[in-house]
A and B are shown apart, each in its own frame.
Chain A
């Protein structure tokens, strides 16, 4: 699984892109924390609470969060979140859910170790790995998903019983806290750091321009 740092980098990129006027130090921290949060299930698995890459890597966590947020802000009377934190709070909450889904779960789901996306309904891990290209000899080559009997299948590295997720917190063996595994991940992390610095400069410049106008 790509390290938590990579998930945080993607989360920071999402925060920069989507927070808009709600962008500040605390909102970026909240969104980055949401991107890192799913990896806590590696820690909980140690004390036999749930399973690694499963308990918090299930699609039901962001779906539930989105349903709660939607019903609070859009259905019924006054929104508790908006009353307390205004539209700032609503924006940060939506971006945090997007980061949980795209960065926290997505980064792992598109790696070879996979996530148990439908946990606890199913204990199967899913990994979207493959390729998609156009070839002048072979036409469209697509190996991410296979179509079988009307079902769309993605590859699966195994189930809760057969597939182990290497974790830096599990005792035994050579424990390894991965920081970046490939050059691409290193570039992604560097991009997030530079983009964050650039966004600070841009925001400061915009505030100055606004004050002058």
Chain B
């Protein structure tokens, strides 16, 4: 994983914007808790080989949860709406967006990636590549490579697929290696690695600080105290 701190920072930026009038400390705490939940499959990985980055790191969960949440929040007598009102509905949707993008999508790009549509298909995928327009080559993207196998003549699509759950171990602090070496084990808890992660972390912190300085009362027609978002 890019560290949980980075996930939480991206989650905070999205929460501040999308919670809107429902933004408060409690709602933020719920969203940040949700973004950390997928790491629980690390614990499962100690018992079941390859469970980390599989059981909860799957887009399958979002694919199922999205229509389900839509049905639940739009039907007559919705349980979420009945119990928590519009605030509960908003928080539920923001949690879904944050889980999908701030956590699972970012892990898709990291190390061996995620078990993308487990349990439908047991296959790790990693999103790697670049996209550019070059003067000599035109438009180039390398995220999904489509080529023809020279021997069999069949089309081959490389979308960054790796091994199955049983073959793939994604290193994590709880289990740095699947077969531990004798001797001291180095467990590394990343906070931010590489420039962009530190940048996202600081962005999340600045957004939360700026949101505290802002007032809620201001409306576009202009009355109520002024607010600034200094940085």
Contacts and interface: CB of A to CB of B under 8 A. Distances in A.
A132 B199 CA distance: 12
Given A18-B229, A21-B220, A132-B191, A183 B129 contact: yes
Interface string A59-101: 0001000100000010000000010001110110011011001
A20 B129 contact: no
A198 B220 contact: no
Contacts of B193: 131-133
A14 B230 CA distance: 12
B220 A174 contact: no
A165 interface: no
Interface in B173-226: 184-196, 198-199, 202-203, 206-207, 210-211, 214, 216, 218-222, 224, 226
Nearest to B100: A194
A87 B224 CA distance: 9
Interface in A133-175: 133-138, 141, 144, 168, 174-175
A98 B206 contact: yes
Interface stretch (B13-21, B76-84, B164-172): B13-21
Given A102-B203, A174-B136, A202 B184 contact: no
B191 A195 contact: no
B53 to A, nearest CB: 15
A174 B134 contact: yes
A82 B218 CA distance: 13
A134 B109 contact: no
B64 interface: no
B37 interface: no
Contacts of A112: 195
Which of A86, A87, A131, A137 has the most B CB atoms < 10 Å from its CB?
Answer: A87
B133 A195 contact: no
Interface string A102-118: 10001101111000000
Given A128-B195, A183-B129, A183-B143, A21 B218 contact: yes
Nearest to B16: A17
A54 B21 CA distance: 39
B214 A187 contact: no
B218 A10 contact: no
Nearest to A180: B131
Given A13-B17, A86-B221, A174-B135, A98 B192 contact: no
A86 B220 contact: yes
Interface in B87-143: 90, 93, 97, 101-102, 105-106, 108-110, 126-137, 143
Contact of A182 (B101, B128, B226): B128
A18 B214 contact: yes
Contacts of A29: none
Contacts of A82: 226
A22 B111 CA distance: 40
Contacts of B194: 129-131
A10 to B, nearest CB: 7
Given A183-B108, A184-B196, A94 B230 contact: yes
A101 B218 CA distance: 24
B203 A176 contact: no
B187 A136 contact: yes
Interface string A1-42: 010000000100110111011101000000000000000000
Contacts of A20: 20, 214, 216, 218, 227
A56 interface: no
A102 B210 CA distance: 12
Interface of A: 2, 10, 13-14, 16-18, 20-22, 24, 62, 66, 73, 82, 86-88, 90-91, 94-95, 97-98, 101-102, 106-107, 109-112, 127-138, 141, 144, 168, 174-187, 190-191, 194-195, 198-199, 202-203, 206, 209
Pairs of residues from A and B, 8 with the lowest C-beta to C-beta distance, nearest first: A183-B109, A16-B17, A110-B195, A86-B222, A110-B199, A183-B127, A17-B17, A98-B231
